[in-house]
Structure 1
Amino acid sequence: MKKILVSFAHALQNIRTRFFHTVLSILGIVIGVAALVAILSLIDGMEQYAREQITRTTSLKAVLVQSNPYKVVNEVQVRKSEYDYLDAKRWGAMRSSLSKPAGTYLYWQQNSEISVVSDTGKIGTIVTGTSLPLHPNLTLVHGRVFTEPELQRARGVAVVNQILARQLVGKQPEKSALGRQLRYGGTTLTVIGILADKDAKAGQLLMPITLLPDSALRASPPMGVIEANTVEDVPALKTDVDTWLKANMKGQPDDFVLITNEQRVSQATQGFLLFRLIMGLIVGISVLVGGIGVMNVLLISVTERTVEIGVRKALGAKRRDIMWQFLSESITISTFGSLLGLGLGLLSTLAFIPIVKALTDVSFQVAYTWNTFILIMVIAMLIGVIFGTYPALRAARLDPVEAIRRE
């Protein structure tokens, strides 16, 4: 350890005596490392932004259970003559088989027309058959939602959003839509609740999914959503659902598709990894040029210090001592250049972010990770070893007598 510290101390002293020459020679490393730090930090920021957007628009804790009524025949997708689908009874059985706590929602949706009882006019709306509980994004503003007994007994009740409520009552207060009777197909429904519109742009009607006949469920199979309490529970819940479907649904193996939004995150991660590798290889050319600069500095140093090397070897220094002296100097020079590049890269990203915010409305932030800093230090060590080996070997192989004669 003492020899190592002495070697690095000598290396720092040699750098200090030829400071400007050393800095000019390692500009390639400084620029290359700065560009690498800036690119990796910006890509990390882009990946973080993409994850936030995916999480904001979709739930990473959801498992979607979707019927697949199609098959591929000779590269053409055709509808199956027979396939399994979920209904309220099967959904309840599946829900009771889950090994982890989770919120569950089964819903069927279709654009259709409804009418007000005693009125011949038609109103276009989105009709949704659903189980309980309702999706947590739905907020009740008036009345109530239907209960579990009403769901099981297929009672003719419905909940509408504010847009549809205003269409039903005209200029009257939207709350007066409560108690109105509607007709959908051959079913009469009584409005018992009104939901907030939020981002809805059309009228929507929710009713117990048990009111729908099997023919409607088969023609347009409902989708099930299982919302885990934590992201870590998603694989276990997906396995539970897959096991239950194989044990209880006797149709074809591909009648159901299980979808998780982890796939989107995985795809985005793979895309950014590919982008990171490509940009890293491009910027690596500058780092390679910097390594050649380090080799140049050391070769000049070997030439200038030939007599010193000869004297040291004449006094008993071994080859490995001379080799380690120049390798430590190479590692020190490359580390010095990498640290300068790291600082320059951090400053450049801090200057770049305000420009991005000024030109776009994206709330983008650069991300600094330990992986970036560790990578820079590894690069510094590799450059020092790879490009310092030849000058170190050349110095170690010098004949002491011939080296001293050059004075």
Structure 2
Amino acid sequence: MLRVRSLLYRSAGVWMLLLASICGPAVAQSGPLTMRGEQDTRIQQGIDLIYQLQLDEAALYFEQIIDADPDNPLGHFFRAMVGWWRVLIDLEDTRHDEEFYRLLQACIDVCDRRLEVDPDDFDAILFKGGAIGFRGRLRGDRGQFVRAARDGLRCLPLLDKSRSLEPTNKDILFGQGIYNYFAEVIPKRYPIVRPVMLFLHKGDRQLGLTQLRDVAEGGRYARAEARYFLAQIHKVFEVDHLRALPYLEDLHHQYPDNALFHRYRARTLVTIGRWGEGVAQYEQVVERSRRAAPGYHTRGLIEALFYIGKDAYRRRDDAMVIDSMTQVEVLSVSLGEDLETQAARGYTSLANLYWGMVLDMAGHRSEAMERYDRVLRLPAQGKSHTLARRYRLDPFERGRSGRAGPQLPSPSSGPTRSPGS
């Protein structure tokens, strides 16, 4: 009964928000929802719910828009974006994939029906291209690079046509910028997609970056997504963490409850050596994870505890190292029995390595050997296996030649994937 009452209150709250926005004084916002014309606060309010990870509220918001106008693809597209963020907040969890694909297909179907009536329907063209593009984005995250490239082949003409219909709409540059950047970069990193790319327009890395920056600065609804992509690009592909940080700080300040922006900002800070600031952010991640705030999950907690422990190692606070890395190990086991799952993108392996090193320095050789054995059972992360074998033969001592410690984790990432998300 309490669950039903909570849902009713939540639904009523979303209805009030939606009605308030629809009944507002702006004349430009009194008609059907569209991506044409001036910015519509009704759309932005729903988008803000998504980025603040109020996903249940956002789903209700856009479902009510769909109920009011079921033939408008806008509601269907942004309802699918709620599904996308359910996927994105923990990319290792594939349980939401099929629902996301279903929501995208519902949007595509609505667009197709409208395009049968009017082949130049701007919203239908734009949202069909966007839906296919996001489908390709997840396929890329799942390692389905050929299928992702084929989706690029399908959506590019739609993006080009939408641009010709609305040449001043900067949000359209978002999809074009992504295409131009990755069409040049991805074939170099993933040769398997090169045959498919022969059928596509040649990419332009620099043009793609310029277009994404234009959207990040002057887009209507895609500003946040453009900043997020620029952060990903600068971290993963350009390997320029200093350029990535301002985008992440802006996103986290605008959406302080977004767990993904929070962790991504923290990781970037420690990567560039601003450990005090980064660890302070990670301590907030731990606190929010402990109270199960939306978007904060076990894998994110493992990441935060690892970096807190790594910082303690730097400061020679061995008790804190053991405490943090012990928590990482306990949490990793809670993820499941599969060792790949327990590895948590490499954090568990390196946590056990640091733990063993500190135990070695304290003279607890047998306990240290247990940690090194655990490292060797887990999938290798960087030089984790090499170092574990070395320290099994020769106990670790801080400061000796060749004993700089393990390589930090480098979470695997696909062409559009948020590293370690």
TM-score by length of 2: 0.23
More strand per residue: 1 or 2?
1
Q: Which has the larger radius of gyration?
A: 1
Q: Which has the higher contact order (CA 8 A, sep 6+)?
A: 1
When you count helix as a share of all residues, which structure comes out higher?
2
TM-score w.r.t. length of structure 1: 0.24
